[in-house]
Each structure stands twice: as C-alpha cells, then as structure tokens.
Amino acid sequence: MHRFLLAVLRRDLTLAARRRGDWMIAQFFFVMVASLFPLGVGPEPDMLARIGPGVLWVAATLASLLSLSRLFADDHQDGSLEHMVLSPEPTVLLVLGKSIAHWLIYGIPVLLIAPVLGIQFNLSWDAILVLELSLLLGTPILSLLGGVGAALTLGLRGGGVLLTLLILPLYVPALIFGAGAVDGVMTGTGAEAHLSLLGAFMVLSLMISPWIAAAALRVSLE
Amino acid sequence: MKLYTFASPATFYHLAGKLIPWFAWSAGLLTLWGLYISFFLAPTDFQQSEAYRIIFIHVPAAWMSMFIYLVMAFWGAIGLAFNTRLSFMMARALAPTGAMFTFVALWTGALWGKPMWGAWWVWDARLTSELILLFLYVGIIALWAAIDDVKRGDRAGSLLTLIGAINVPIIYFSVIWWNTLHQGASISVTKAPSMAAIMLQGMLVMAVAAWFYTIAVALVRVRRIILERERHTEWAKAILEGDQ
C-alpha cells in the first residue's frame, strides 16, 4: 500500500524536477504579492511588522491556489489520471500522494522564502521562528483542502478561478490560526494555543480531505 | 404506499404541486401576522427605540441562512449515500434561497449596526462567519453553474456542501477566537438581550413564516428542475405540452 503512495510521490516529484519553471512561478508569485504590500501601505517599519504575519499568510495561501489548479490537470489531459484511478490501488492514496507531493514542491520553498520576507517586514526573530512553525503546520492544510477543490473543478471552464472561489472560504481557519500565532508572539500572549489549534486542524484535514477529494475525483472522471 | 414512493420525481412533482399553495398561503398569512406584531404590538425598546424592529427580519433570516445550509448538506449526503436523484434536486432548489437569506441577514445587520454601533460593518465574529457562509453558498452555486453535466454537478456540489458543513463550526469558532484576540472588549452582540415575550413571539412567527416561504419556494424550484430533467419522459412531455 505504501509502495503505491511512494510511487505517486516519486512520479510527481520527478515531473516537477523536469519542469522547474512551473513551480517556480508560484514562489515568485508569493514573493511579489508580499512585496506589493509595503508599496501599497507605506514603508514604516512598525506598521509593516504589524501587518507582516497576515500579509505573508495571505500571500502563501494565494500562492498555493495558483499551483493547485494544476494538481490533477496535466495527468487528466494526457489520460494517465484515469488509469491511476482505474487501477486496483485505492484512489485515496493517489490523492494523498499528490497532495503530499504538492506540499513538498510548494510548501517547502515557501518555508525557505518566508524568513527572508519576514526580515523585509521587520519581524523579530521570535516572530519569524513562529511564522515558520505556523507555515510548517499550516501549508499542508492548504495542499490537502486544495486537493478537494482541484478534484472538484477538474477540466472545467475557468477552473482556476472557480477553485479560488470554492477553497478560499475553507482556508479561513488556517489563516486565522496561522497569522494569529505570529501575532500572539508579537503581542506577548503566546503562540501555543494557535499552533495547537492549527495542528488539530491539520490532522482533521489529513483525516477527512483525501476521502472527499478521492470521491470528487471519481465524480469528475465519470 | 410507502414514504419512498415520493422519492420518484414523477410522484413528487404532483405532491409538490398540491403542497405549494398551502405553504405559500401560510407563509403569507404568517408574515402579515408577524409584521403586525412587530410594528403594532411590540413595544418600543427603551435603549434602541424603533430601530430594533429590524430584528424581526434580521434574526429569522440569519437562522434560515444557517438552517438551509444544513438541510442542503443533509440532502447532499442522502443523495450521495442512496443515489436518489430527487435529493440532489432538493439541494439545488434550496441553495438560492439560502444565499438570499444570508445576504438579507448581512444587509439588515448593516442597517441595524449603523444606528446601534455607529458603523455599517464591524468585524464581529457573527458577521464574519455569516459573510463566509455567503462565500460558501456562492462557491456552491458557481460550481453548479460551471458543470454542464447534471450528474457530475449534483455530486460535486454535494461533496462541496459536505466539506463546507464540516468546516462551518470550525470557521465559526476560529472567527470567535480571532475576534477576541484582535478586538478586545469593543462590542458585545453575543449577550442575549432580555426580551419582552411579545417581541420573542413576533420573531418566532416571522421565523416560521420564513421557514414556510423557503419550503414553498424550494418546491416551486424543484418542480422546475424535475420538469427540466425529465423532459424526455412521457408524463413530463404531457405536462409541458399541456402548459403551452
């Protein structure tokens, strides 16, 4: 069973390694969205530190959506997705593997870039550390829930925009707990509560969303 | 005759046709009664004066907006589990009314907020979660609109409704905690006001009216959906040609 999961992972990572441009776009998008905010609201360091956690979290959310619309689309186009769904291996594992691969390709680079952007936003080292922790717990949620959206909108006209409309409301708890954790450190109330809730939400998404995404995938391929 | 006889669109079409006038008339009469209570019987509030009367529309609309979402999720789950076509049609028929009530709740909330809090909008937990509920409704309706294939659309919409239903409580509590962190003690709308019995009565009458209105409208809409989907069958053809 886990061999299938590993095979899906290896396949997606190999594909991503061969098409580097694709996933770099999401990361540049992340950097650009975050960099636009100081231009829009002004460069005062105090204010930037105040809005920084929220801005970085929103930017990470949007960047995940940008790459999620492609999660199943390429395999759907060349027909390999149908074969994988028709194979005797459980579709849940296929979806889970693809979500994990998405997180490795999109989430890890976000984790690497976020501290640099945190410095740009004048965040303290403590805040940056908690930001990293919150992104570490939170970005898997985005990949998991996003898998549901990607499966539901597979092959539709304007699927990318529709995906945004469907999934952003579901991201709200992740955004609140994630940005709240960093805020908690900065205002001195502590980040533990938010991080625990974020972790709980991550576990819940991990338990539920692969099943719903697998069901959605079967519906979309019928 | 078993209850599930009515799971057949053809039988339900006629049953719905018979039920609609009852629900529609009850809704109309109850609305008149509720409005009479709200405007003539209910006393003027000593704190909020006349402006509080919007509660008679606002609260039933907010209740219905959440209740209809749960009913949609229920029909979606039934449809996915038992593969009954009518359940999906009911879910689709309910969605626009649910979105409408959500919008009405937000709109009347803004109208109420202006004289009470001095602001059209505050990022209060209830307002924010109601706004996100509206986003969920819009997302589901947009997904249905984007999928031409009826069967796929039904199932995809129901799955989205279900994952939304799991998320709604999480969103609600996250927004409450977010709110307490950010706003401190600014405005408390969560404290239930001690309410005169007649006010409560007016509100309940309006809530039942909204409930009957929803049923009537959903049945009208589901009849249209049934005819649209069954247009190739003999009985639907007979009705369609008879109408014209």
C-alpha of A41 from chain center:
26
**Which residues in chain B have Cβ-Cβ distances shorter than 8 Å to A177?**
174
Query: pLDDT tens-digit profile of A66-111?
Result: 888 888 888 888 888 888 888 888 889 999 999 999 999 988 999 9
What is the pLDDT, as a whole number, of residue B116?
Answer: 76
What is the pLDDT, as a whole number, of residue A143?
Answer: 92
What is the pLDDT, as a whole number, of residue B180?
Answer: 60
**Chain B touched by A216 (CB under 8 Å):** yes
- Write out residues 169-188 of A within 8 Å (CB-CB) of B: 169-170, 172-173, 176-177, 180, 183-184
Higher confidence at residue B174 or residue B190?
B174
What is the pLDDT, as a whole number, of residue B40?
Answer: 81
CB B23 within 8 A of CB B212: yes
What is the pLDDT, as a whole number, of residue B179?
Answer: 64
pLDDT at A55 exceeding the cut of 60: yes
pLDDT at A115 exceeding the cut of 70: yes
Q: How far is CA A181 from CA A70, A82, B163, in A?
A: 30, 41, 25
pLDDT at B190 exceeding the cut of 60: no
Q: pLDDT category, B46, cuts 50, 70, 90? A: low
Q: pLDDT category, B1, cuts 50, 70, 90? A: low
* Mutate: best of A144, A219, A220, A222, partner B, most B CBs <10 A: A219
pLDDT at B191 exceeding the cut of 70: no
Contact between chains at B167 and A173 (C-beta distance less than 8 A): yes
Query: pLDDT tens-digit profile of A143-166?
Result: 999 999 999 998 887 778 889 889
What is the pLDDT, as a whole number, of residue B2?
Answer: 63
Mean pLDDT of chain B: 83
Higher confidence at residue B55 or residue A202?
A202
Q: How far is CA B165 from CA A152, B64, B77, B134, in A?
A: 16, 15, 11, 13
pLDDT at B160 exceeding the cut of 60: yes
Higher confidence at residue A151 or residue B236?
A151
What is the pLDDT, as a whole number, of residue B96?
Answer: 93
pLDDT at B36 exceeding the cut of 90: no
Max mean pLDDT among A24-38, B104-118, B191-205 falls in A24-38
* Mutate: best of A142, A172, A222, partner B, most B CBs <10 A: A172
Mean pLDDT of A128-140: 92
Mean pLDDT of A44-63: 89
**Which residues in chain A have Cβ-Cβ distances shorter than 8 Å to B166?**
208
- For residue B155, the chain A residue with the least C-alpha distance is A219
Angle value at C-alpha B6, between B2 and B8, nearest 5 degrees: 120
CB B55 within 8 A of CB B195: no
Contact between chains at B146 and A176 (C-beta distance less than 8 A): no
Contact between chains at A156 and B146 (C-beta distance less than 8 A): yes
What is the pLDDT, as a whole number, of residue B187?
Answer: 42
The answer, as to whether pTM is greater than 0.90, is: no
Give me A188's structure tokens.
């001195």
Contact between chains at A172 and B132 (C-beta distance less than 8 A): yes
CB B159 within 8 A of CB A215: yes
What is the pLDDT, as a whole number, of residue B185?
Answer: 38
- For residue A184, the chain B residue with the least C-alpha distance is B181
Contact between chains at A208 and B151 (C-beta distance less than 8 A): no
Higher confidence at residue B5 or residue A3?
A3
Q: State in Å, rounded, how far the first CA of chain B is from the last one.
A: 32
**Chain B touched by A168 (CB under 8 Å):** yes
Contact between chains at B147 and A156 (C-beta distance less than 8 A): yes
Contacts of B96 (CB under 8 A, 6+ apart): B141, B221
One-letter identity of residue A137: L
Which of B152, B162, B175 has its CB closest to that of A222?
Answer: B152
**Which residues in chain A have Cβ-Cβ distances shorter than 8 Å to B152?**
219-220, 222
